[in-house]
Amino acid sequence: MEEAEEGWENGKLGDVSTCIKESIQPEDMSQYTLYVGLEHIDRKNIVLSRHGISDKLASNKYVFAEDDILFGKLRPYFHKVCFASFQGVCSTDILVIRPKERRLYPFCLFAFFQKNVVDYSDISSEGTRMPRTSWDILKNYPILIPDENSLAHFNTIAETMIQKMKKNQNQIRTLTQMRDTLLPKLMSGEVRVKS
């Protein structure tokens, strides 16, 4: 690790974030709770663009909140790291990571997404056929924690980008739900389009 710039501090990912392990059983979920499995997270894409629903889940899952960071711990070399633009539940093969303070959110998101962190989690993972990383591994990754001015400047740029990505994803999700509702009705003739 490089030496910290003036005003910056040496630290670890665990100094700025924590892993949330709030578990929920299928019978305690509403039927239409949004669900994220590893199959829904694209490789090397910070935006979560797909999800399922909880109606067919048979085992416990983790609860996540909007803006939590989702880090795929199974086969971490697939680089499945993204932010959640909605609240829901996810596979227990996904780490739910939350910054300790809101002002650290953009910094944490891009820190966990960087290739060096993913490579570190892969090299340190346990298991040969189905390697898994863990919070105990990730939280010890050494980082430089920026001073308040640098953090505020970064947040000004990064928050704008994150909010734009989130808005786009919410619009896509709304349009997808409309399509899924209307298309069967159009196909069956229940709804007609006036020309």
Tokens of 161: 């980008």
Please tell me the distance from the alpha carbon of residue 179 to that of residue 191, in angstroms, as a whole number.
13
Helices 148-188/105-113 angle, 10° precision? 70
Domains, the chain, ranges and CATH? 9-188 (3.90.220.20)
Q: Which pLDDT score is estimated for 5?
A: 66
Q: Comparing 101 with 126, which gets the higher pLDDT? A: 101
pLDDT score of 2: 52
CA neighbor of 159 nearest in space, from 110, 118, 106:
106
**pLDDT at res. 132:** 93
Q: Considering the entire predicted model, what is its pTM?
A: 0.83
The pLDDT of residue 3: 53
Span 72-115, pLDDT tens digits? 999 999 999 999 999 999 999 999 999 999 999 999 999 999 99
- pLDDT (mean) for 165-194: 76
CA triple 79-80-82, angle to 5 deg: 120
